[in-house]
């Protein structure tokens, strides 16, 4: 029984690690590969759009 509990515990830890990794990948994609606002625009283009919106150069 102890082995089964250990395997179950390790499996749940593995699921948490996978979910955390997916969250990191999603945030990486949104930061560097475009945001929901500009999905296919690179970082330089996006900062140009944000500058136009805020009025700074």
Q: Supply the range of the domain harboring residue 16.
A: 2-54
CB 34 within 8 A of CB 41: yes
Is residue 14 a contact partner of residue 21, using CB atoms and an 8 Å limit?
A: no
Rounded to whole angstroms, how far apart are CA atoms 17 and 47? 32
Whole-number Å distance between alpha carbons of 47 and 1:
56
Choose among 34, 24, 36: nearest CA to 47.
34
Q: How many domains does the chain have?
A: 1
* pTM for this entry: 0.45
Q: Percent of the chain at pLDDT above 70?
A: 54
Q: Residue 18's pLDDT is what?
A: 92
pLDDT in tens, 4-31: 889 899 889 999 999 999 888 888 777 7
């Amino acid at each position: 029984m102890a082995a089964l509990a250990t395997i179950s515990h390790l499996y749940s830890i593995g699921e948490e690690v996978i979910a955390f990794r997916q969250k990191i990948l999603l945030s990486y994609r949104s930061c560097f590969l475009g945001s929901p606002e500009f999905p296919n625009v690179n970082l330089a283009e996006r900062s140009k759009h944000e500058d136009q919106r805020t009025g700074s150069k």
